[in-house]
Amino acid sequence: MILVVGGAGYIGSHLVKELAENEEVIVLDNLSTGHREAVDSRAIFVEGDIGNEEVLQMIFKSYPISAVMHFAAYSLVGESVIDPLKYYENNVASTLKLLKAMLNNHVKNFIFSSTAAVYGIPAVEMIDEKTATSPINPYGHSKLLIEQILADFKNAYGLNYIILRYFNAAGAHESAKIGESHNPETHLIPIILQHLLGHRDKVSIFGSDYKTPDGTCIRDYIHVNDLASAHILALKALLAKEKEAEVYNLGNGHGFSVKEVLETCEKVTGLKAKVEMADRRAGDPARLVASSQKIFSELVWEAERNLEQIISDAWEWHRNQLY
């Protein structure tokens, strides 16, 4: 049985839906940002916090857990700058409690959701796993701290792990039954689609004077179901003992500017957006694009869904949003 913490959240819920096809799954989520409705009905659901040692102990004693997949983190860069305590408390201190409970119960396989934010402002066009890590905000720091802790726990306690550094997760499940639902929403694609649905009066482009071809920031958007399938491959490799301590980037390998994303949303929906140019958002690097060559060569994974597919799946979800 696999324990998925944060399995009611955006990325976790898509993973759980795919994982539950072949595995028994238990989800632990405090529903602070997740949605109970997003959890696949085949999974056992426990409402609780990863920092609650009693709940963790109950789960590890009651179920034969072979691996833990960890999605239960706060993930907004701007919020992390304003309230770093919230980020270090949950993303670091509570994660330590989770790791301690795993070790106490001899569970030694861990899949960790990390982020492109560990790279800060990279000096290279295509970021690979050897690119220097140098976070520029508490969110990125909180994730990198756990990455370092995992390496130490591998050496000391034999904890096996795979770290997956996501670039820009987007899109929704093809069934349109689950998708992205944040409150408040800060991400580009849902904001554009909510505007096109009439829920916002305009879209603001945060900065048009970056050193990029059209002046707007470039990001690597990856479909949430491509992320999910990478997790399944990583889990298999860990359980088969083919991998013991690895880090992989997860991206599409193609950068799209904010303007290009807007144009693609207009193309997919057939609607025209009202756009305003706004100031830069603090902490935004001009370009973040992944090389996913390592996971392609080692686990034979590559992103299958392009930007149009991401946006059309997200559009189906937002038109009929269930939660």
Strands 256-257 and 218-219: antiparallel
What amino acid positions are annotated as catalytic residues? 139
Stretch that binds ligand UDP, among 24-32, 33-41, 200-208, 293-301 (CB under 6 A): 200-208
Cα–Cα nearest to 250, from 219, 212, 211, 293: 293
Helix, strand or coil, per DSSP, at residue 258: helix
* Alpha-helical runs (H) found in 170-215: 188-196
Peptide bond into 122 cis (omega under 30): no
Stretch that binds ligand UDP, among 84-92, 202-210, 239-247, 305-313 (CB under 6 A): 202-210
Site string for ligand UDP, 11-50 (x = CB under 6 A): ----------------------------------------
Q: Which two tokens stand for residue 150?
A: 């995992």
**Nearest distance from residue 215's CB to ligand UDP, in Å?**
11
Q: Is residue 267 within 8 Å of residue 256, measured between CB atoms?
A: no
Residue 178 binding ligand UDP, by CB under 6 A: no
Q: Which of 38, 188, 237, 310 binds ligand UDP (CB under 6 A)?
A: 188
Residue 281 binding ligand UDP, by CB under 6 A: yes
CA 155 to mean position of chain CA atoms: 26
Nearer to ligand UDP, 196 or 258 (CB): 258
Residue 217 binding ligand UDP, by CB under 6 A: yes
Q: Which of 62, 148, 175, 186 binds ligand UDP (CB under 6 A)?
A: 186
Stretch that binds ligand UDP, among 137-145, 157-165, 171-179, 201-209 (CB under 6 A): 201-209
Residue 204 binding ligand UDP, by CB under 6 A: yes
Cα–Cα nearest to 243, from 296, 297, 293, 298: 298
Residues 229-258 that bind ligand UDP (CB under 6 A): 258
**Nearest distance from residue 187's CB to ligand UDP, in Å?**
4
Residue 187 binding ligand UDP, by CB under 6 A: yes
Q: How far apart are the first and last CA of the chain?
A: 28
Strands (E), 49-167: 67-70, 109-115, 160-166
Residue 205 binding ligand UDP, by CB under 6 A: yes
**Nearest distance from residue 116's CB to ligand UDP, in Å?**
8
- C-alpha span between 139 and 149 (Å, rounded): 16
- DSSP letters spanning 34-62: --GGGS-TTSEEEE--TT-HHHHHHHHHH
Nearer to ligand UDP, 27 or 191 (CB): 191
Q: Please name the residue that has the structure tokens 């689609």.
A: 193
C-alpha Rg value of the chain to the nearest Å: 19
**Nearest distance from residue 231's CB to ligand UDP, in Å?**
19
Residue 310 binding ligand UDP, by CB under 6 A: no
Q: Is residue 200 within 8 Å of residue 151, measured between CB atoms?
A: no
Nearer to ligand UDP, 243 or 287 (CB): 287
Interface residue list for ligand UDP (CB under 6 A):
77, 168, 186-188, 191, 203-206, 217, 219, 258, 281, 284
